[in-house]
Chain A
């Protein structure tokens, strides 16, 4: 069943949800939009393009205490810290929902990450169909937007007068039910209206790539291309920080007199320290080798492991790049030299992987 809600009633509904949940929503802070927990003095906004940061940090915080330890005589007392707060994440875009499901793959599997999944399972995802793509977006090419057909608990779509609300799971149904009088049944014509909105959004997306072609090409890229890209990289790590699918972290203890806490915090493959080993030997010593890693991680390694690409086309890495590297333009201009078709290039190929 599909529902509809008046724009002004969304805030009422979210305010009501605040009684039982921490509500994370796009908030207008100093005239820009950030995902933030709603408090009494914050105002949500429904008028936003892609937020500067994705809501990744509400599942994988920038710094997270895993546990604290205290020395008592000969023994250690260890207290773990699992965040099981009930949350509603309102307004997450399809690209970022797709990024979350990629993180599910990374943190799931044989060694399930309890910190991540506690947050994930305790958060209800209220997604928002994207009707306002940013200039650097290319989700359409990656199959991650502007519309969303699964992986949400509730899905909102802005129509001319109201918001269309689709239910994905019981978890979604439940938070809708908490204030059911705000929602009314939507008729089938709304489905066409939604379609038109999505088509209009697609038309606004100006950047397009073929990820499969790029995936193949990346294996044959000449060293010179990476060298030039490496020279442009200033090494800030912003692309990883801002990427909704980057998930690498490092672990560090903060302790005094053998008591303290173990923290994990966001890390980046852009840093040379990320792969440097104890004796100083570094398999990815140069910036060019780290560039090669980053692009191949997104377009090859992810695919090899999860049969999906590790890029959701949100364009944020282009927005933050200090070296002014534009991912889509770089990928589109990739020129590949394949010398012959015998076994020799296969060897050459391996060198790049």
Chain B
């Protein structure tokens, strides 16, 4: 028996970016040891403590599969990769480059995302590349770029305890970003004031000084109301507005009008005028006011509007550009920030350099020695529509599971089934992989080297604890497919890929694996001797003349509101033990045991009205589909509102959700739709 090894790496679950050691014994990962490194400070959430459990799952894909008839047949790597390359080439030749599309993975490393991006653009010749950020924080990238010039968390996690007022909006932080939640709890214990804006009574809401329980989707009205109060009472930071912002007059005209008085906002949002007054004053008077938000803000048809409103609020009160303040989106996946940074988006290369910018394009063309496409590509949902109507013929999906994660699943299935070629690269045979023509087994985070970038822009090393159990490291797979196209991709290691990334990406310019050995680096980190950037915009915004921009935003109601037929509001979200579509956590014994099945939360008043008992099964339906699911009766959800997590393939929540898109960022409205709930009288099997 070999002695135990402990390998310091980065957690593969959420965007907190916790670090821990993987304990390796006899080439098996048997546990997790905490570390005082980085934001973790010895702590981990339930997923982190159990992050080793899925690695050796017997469900791991062992060999490449090719579908013959209706059955998957195991194949050799050579046969599978030849097949993939030949079929992609055929489609490219017959229908053109833009008939192909790539979904990259926020679970994979920066180096792998970079190669996937390069593969789509330089080898396939299309900008049709996107990833799940579209479904979580696309409005953040768009909105914060419009307002500040950069689409990322402005401040850092360890500054939370430095804020004297924290405004948490649309985030059940202790469940979904437990380490950030933990810092908020610490801040409150040290005397910081906490305002929580959420329709549900979240654990943080119970700790809050003020809990604004708004109606789903009324965020813009509520935020305009706060700004109305702040301006009326003269609490805005005039000097900051004068020196560092533009377009204030437009904002003032919009939020000052009758429509957004506290009383009017009460009618729209259900939040009492007094509470709104108190919250507005508390935030505006803060020395250091910090906004923390998540998908409750972004997953709306008004997602970008919501983000812009938060930016307005911070600019109005000067709560940005200094420590312990800012507008702080919590990025969902371990590397969703990195996947965006790496340009696996249809409109930008790495570091948000637009594909439509000639200078940027020429730089990449020179480096990659091939012409690159000029038009902006399709987003995730546009790809699905294009697949359904035949404009997209072939898709290469790496580590994503749209068959559970996208809205309106029935439409996704139709679209994917229409494709001439679907290639899926994953560690498990996911719901999406089952529809594929070829499945290529990848590797878990424990089996490869590379980097992840967490929510606070911190690039950290992922270290190989064990050799690949079954599959191949994703970056190697991509290289092998590219080489079959006659496009040379020969990298010795992820370290070499990072060298190429930093040479092409100013914000990553000073980042190398060598430097990361002694700890993470927060971008922008332009040069080899730059220490990284803890918080953004200290000396000006990344916009023309360094000015932050106000946007006048009007309240628009959600796309689908309750009516007689569908009288409930349905909202979706996550629980602490599961990660997104559950591909990993549902295969982790301890985690899956904790919450083994889906549930719908319903208020006791509604349960009585309909006649539902604890744990009883109900039918939840919307205009798009229906599911049968157990109920949990709790006053943590408001009346006439249902909350359902989306992790479970047995109860596919997203057959219910509304695919209506935010016109700017193209994110679907996961957080609100009209639904109906019915009792099923046959309650034999509870």
Contact = CB atoms under 8 A, between A and B. Distances in A.
Contacts of A320: 34, 42-44
Interface string A245-289: 000001010111000100001110001110010011000000000
Interface stretch (B78-86, B364-372, B587-595): B587-595
B649 interface: no
Interface stretch (B179-187, B434-442, B548-556, B559-567): B179-187
Given A234-B174, A236-B49, A236-B178, A271 B590 contact: yes
Interface string B169-203: 00000110011011001100100000000000001
Contact of A241 (B25, B49, B58, B174): B49
A168 interface: no
A60 to B, nearest CB: 11
Contact of A36 (B4, B8, B49): B4
B542 interface: no
Contact of A324 (B45, B49, B186, B596): B186
A145 B467 CA distance: 42
B30 A63 contact: yes
Interface stretch (A8-16, A26-34, A185-193): A26-34
Contacts of A279: 686
Contacts of B596: 273
User: Main SS of the interface on chain A?
Assistant: mixed
B58 A260 contact: yes
A292 B44 CA distance: 22
Contacts of B174: 234, 322-323
Given A52-B36, A256-B58, A34 B46 contact: no
Contacts of B594: 235, 271-273
Nearest to A319: B42
A322 B181 contact: yes
A62 B29 CA distance: 10
B58 A236 contact: no
A211 interface: no
Interface string B403-444: 000000000000000000000000000000000000000000
A287 B4 CA distance: 34
A114 interface: no
Contacts of A64: 30
B30 A62 contact: yes
A151 interface: no
Nearest to B174: A234
Nearest to B576: A235
A232 B207 CA distance: 9
B37 interface: yes
A222 interface: no
B23 interface: yes
B35 interface: yes
A132 to B, nearest CB: 16
Contacts of B589: 250, 252, 265
Q: How large is the interface on B (under 10, 10 to 19, 20 to 34, 35 or more residues)?
A: 35 or more
Contacts of A237: 46, 49, 590
Interface string A53-93: 10001000111100000000000000000010100000000
Contacts of A349: none
B186 A63 contact: no
Interface string A321-335: 111100000000000
A323 B36 CA distance: 17
A22 B34 contact: no
Contacts of B43: 236, 238, 320-322
B526 interface: no
Contacts of B186: 324
Contact of A234 (B23, B33, B178, B206): B178
Nearest to A325: B185
A279 B49 CA distance: 27
A37 B1 CA distance: 12
B6 A238 contact: no
B448 to A, nearest CB: 19
Given A62-B30, A236-B46, A320-B34, A39 B8 contact: no
A231 interface: yes
B1 A85 contact: yes
B590 A61 contact: no
B281 interface: no
Nearest to B175: A234
Contact of B203 (A37, A39, A231, A321): A231
Contact of B3 (A30, A37, A254): A37
B6 A29 contact: yes
A238 B46 CA distance: 8
Contacts of B31: 57, 61-63, 265-266
A324 B185 contact: yes
Interface centre among B174, B181, B185, B590, by most chain A C-beta atoms within 10 angstroms, is: B590
Interface centre among A62, A83, A237, A279, by most chain B C-beta atoms within 10 angstroms, is: A62
B72 interface: no
B619 interface: no
Interface string B16-59: 00000101010010111111110000111110110010001010
B161 to A, nearest CB: 11
B615 interface: yes
A99 interface: no
Contacts of A242: 34
A22 B45 CA distance: 32
B71 to A, nearest CB: 19
Contacts of B1: 83, 85
Given A52-B34, A234-B203, A322 B590 contact: no
Contacts of B23: 57, 62
Contacts of B6: 29, 34, 36
A324 B187 CA distance: 10
A53 B33 contact: yes
Given A32-B36, A236-B45, A241-B49, A280 B182 contact: no
Interface string B450-461: 000000000000
B31 to A, nearest CB: 3
A267 to B, nearest CB: 7
Contacts of A265: 31, 589-590
Contacts of B21: 29, 34
A256 B58 CA distance: 7
A30 B179 contact: no
A241 B203 CA distance: 23
Given A52-B42, A234-B182, A273-B594, A61 B25 contact: yes
B317 to A, nearest CB: 28
A72 B253 CA distance: 81
A22 B6 CA distance: 16
B181 A234 contact: yes
Nearest to A240: B49
A32 B37 contact: yes
Given A52-B42, A53-B34, A235-B576, A267 B590 contact: yes
Given A234-B203, A280-B686, A322 B35 contact: no
Contact of B58 (A30, A57, A255, A273): A255
Given A62-B30, A63-B52, A234-B203, 7 more contacts: A30-B8, A32-B36, A64-B30, A235-B46, A236-B46, A237-B590, A265-B31
21 contacts: A32-B35, A36-B6, A52-B36, A57-B23, A61-B25, A231-B207, A232-B185, A234-B46, A235-B46, A235-B576, A235-B594, A236-B45, A236-B49, A237-B46, A238-B34, A250-B589, A252-B589, A254-B56, A255-B58, A271-B590, A323-B185
Interface of A: 22, 29-30, 32, 34, 36-37, 39, 52-53, 57, 61-64, 83, 85, 231-232, 234-238, 241-242, 250, 252, 254-256, 260, 265-267, 271-273, 276, 279-280, 319-324
Interface of B: 1, 3-4, 6, 8, 21, 23, 25, 28, 30-37, 42-46, 48-49, 52, 56, 58, 174-175, 178-179, 181-182, 185-186, 189, 203, 206-207, 576-577, 589-590, 593-594, 596, 615, 686
Name the 8 nearest CB pairs between A and B, nearest first: A62-B31, A37-B3, A273-B593, A63-B30, A322-B182, A236-B46, A273-B594, A236-B45
